[in-house]
Structure 1
């Protein structure tokens, strides 16, 4: 067991073809990786496609994984970020969600609509940020990585990350104030 990397043993077992290890790693990582992809892409189906591709890459590369300077989780985040970036580059237009006009059957539909509007406003403001600011905010606030982990993942120093976070928070605040004026 690799004490340096909490995923080291699972990755080693996956590399040996252990399907239970695959299930365990998916159970451990799926929610965070899906949340990361969704926050960056803003589309649940596209996020699920990215995460599926991510786990295929884990399966294919696990036998060659050698513990080193980075944790396996950091490698997974980097691959997920790259897959999302590739998809964002290929986008031309953003389709409406399939249920954009569906009535809300909940008894308190007004409160749900307000919460959904708030969530949509945050998602739109986040999507409008510069890509590096969005990555910094998503990794730090939504993925709950430390500043050091996020900076390492982005290939920048902690000071540069904190600068991106400060500019991103200011831009989010301004966009949200404009959305509610």
Structure 2
């Protein structure tokens, strides 16, 4: 190697250590290994979002898989710096869920994972499951756009700007969606507002 050349060959960098933009650049060059890393990194988040939107395991799995396949089939159209990959992926997932626009009556609330917490006793577990089920049912009854905005804000802790990118709308429209969504939840959860203060405090 010539003297002074100490920069490693980019192709020699372990693919698992690359950020999303670098992985996408490799994908544009048809690097399947980079695609596999991107799937491993994001598919669980895509599935969790779809599950919360649809409350049906089979549909959520299909949406997550389809969204990751779309990432590969549209790899050559990706423009670096236009948006984060996670934002693009969430938009694909949300749009697909809204297209499905069905919440099956046989959906099982137990299929939706609860937030991880320290080990509670049996009474606390039962109470939390009951409260959580009420929240999930209330969110599932919101109109699709409101449901998406509330889900992204509450479960994924995204800001209004990123939610607007995902939904393809404006920040003011997201603020309106969240306000109306929270108003709908207040009505549905009447009598239990204290349990959901963190969700209903704004808007």
The normalised TM-score by structure 1 is 0.79
In proportion to residue count, which structure has more helix?
A: 1
Q: TM-score normalised to the size of structure 2? A: 0.71
Distance in structure 1 (CA, Å) of the matches to 2:107 and 2:163: 31
Selected match of 1:159 from 162, 166, 172: 172
CA shift at 1:178, angstroms?
A: 5.5
Please tell me whether residue 31 in structure 1 is matched to residue 13 in structure 2. Answer: no
SS of 2:189 mapped into structure 1: helix
The corresponding residue for 1:8 is 21
Following the alignment from structure 2 to structure 1, what is the Cα–Cα distance between the partners of residues 103 and 150? 24
Q: Measure, in 2, the Cα distance between the counterparts of 1:31 and 1:110.
A: 30
Larger relative contact order (CA 8 Å, sep ≥ 6): 1
Looking at structure 2, the residues matched to 64 and 128 of structure 1 have their Cα atoms a distance apart, in angstroms, of 36
Residue in structure 1 matching 2:105, options 65, 71, 94: 94
- Paired residues of 2:55 and 2:107 also in contact (CA < 8 A): no
Aligned residues, how many? 169
1:47 paired residue number? 60
Provide closer, same or farther for how the CA distance between residues 140 and 98 of structure 1 changes in structure 2, counting only shifts above 3 A: closer
- Alignment correspondent of 2:155: 142
Query: Any idea what SS the aligned residue of 1:129 has?
Result: coil
Q: Which moved more, 1:61-70 or 1:156-165?
A: 61-70
Q: Quote how far apart the aligned CAs of 1:61 are.
A: 1.4
- Is 1:57 matched up with 2:81? no
